[in-house]
Amino acid sequence: MRSYSLIAPAKINLYLEIIGDRPDGYHELVMILQSIDLADQIDIQTNGDQNIRVYCDHPQVPTDKSNLAYRAVELMAQEFPTVWNTHGGVDITIHKQIPVAAGLAGGSTNAAAVLVGIDLLWDLGLTQSELEELGAILGSDVPFCLGGGTAIATGRGERLSPLSILDNIYIVLAKYRSLEVSTGWAYKTYKQNFANSYLQDRESLTTRTQAVHSGAIVKAILSKDPGQIAQNIHNDLERVVLPAYPQVLQLRELFAATEGVLGTMMSGSGPSVFAIVESLAQAELVKQHIQSAILDPDLELFITRTANHGIKLAPS
């Protein structure tokens, strides 16, 4: 049986602006997405019996059709029925490191790894843009997770313009294990409260998108300046998530008041919060400070770095 092991990195949002809504129920966004080196490992192999089986020992990760990795196999089977009939089913094992339901694209990056794994197992030879098109069917963040690195994402989040490499910036990441925020709820609540600020016509949406492209955060990324990047990070969804989740607000405020933190923000729809710091030594001090200020075993803290890649083969 053929098998592959793939590394599937998480992402954070350095920038998330909601600029409008769409007839398909989604929102028009301008985001800057950044891969980090906190990653899951996905092992995938053909099983020869036409079944899809997902294994994961993390209690919060489903192994049925509600797992996006499972749906990624179904999608490939639908798209390539002849190959599916020849090669048969697949077994997928997810080794979870990325916190679940955290705003870190954990489910999306697992699905992206499955697309890449099946492309390899079935010798499909799909191009990056063909994989991205399939990824967009599964979820808005899946196309980014495939190639990773640093990119501006527009539309629903699936239209990507890569930015220059931004690796080795240190990040401290915090997430309450048992706290989950529904992405659907966050966007719906944002719409209920702030739809009056949405841009309506295509021209205004394009102008706004271009303004971000030539704006301060992109300049800071191009100059690889962590201090400037940290001063320009932004996430509109904080406006609805922070008031509804006091623990996330407290974490965010504590990071902001901690020495050595250049900037802090919630990632995606939360509830994870990240802080940009200057060095590994600073990251360790910041982590210790947060740990001693919030004595709650439910709080998980990670030190990670920005990464310049998406899905890749695990070193053998």
Which residues sit at the interface with ligand C5P, rule CB under 6 A? 26-27, 29, 139-141, 156-157, 183-184, 187
Looking at the Cβ atoms of 8 and 230, the one nearer to ligand C5P is: 8
Residue 267 and residue 277: Cα distance in Å, rounded?
Answer: 16
Q: How far is the CB of 25 from ligand C5P (least distance, A)?
A: 6
Q: How far is the CB of 35 from ligand C5P (least distance, A)?
A: 17
By the 8 A CB rule, do 63 and 55 touch?
A: yes
Looking at the Cβ atoms of 106 and 117, the one nearer to ligand C5P is: 106
Looking at the Cβ atoms of 91 and 141, the one nearer to ligand C5P is: 141
C-alpha dist (Å) from residue 260 to 169, 174, 274: 13, 16, 13
| Cβ within 8 Å of residue 36, ≥6 positions away | 9, 10, 11, 12, 104, 171, 173, 304, 305, 306, 307
Which residue in the list 141, 175, 236, 287 is annotated as catalytic?
A: 141
> What tokens does 224 get?
């690889």
Looking at the Cβ atoms of 186 and 276, the one nearer to ligand C5P is: 186
Looking at the Cβ atoms of 22 and 219, the one nearer to ligand C5P is: 22
Which residue in the list 11, 40, 91, 287 is annotated as catalytic?
A: 11
Q: Is 24 annotated in the active site?
A: no
Q: How far is the CB of 233 from ligand C5P (least distance, A)?
A: 19
Q: Is 225 annotated in the active site?
A: no
Q: How far is the CB of 310 from ligand C5P (least distance, A)?
A: 16
- Supply the residues annotated as catalytic: 11, 141
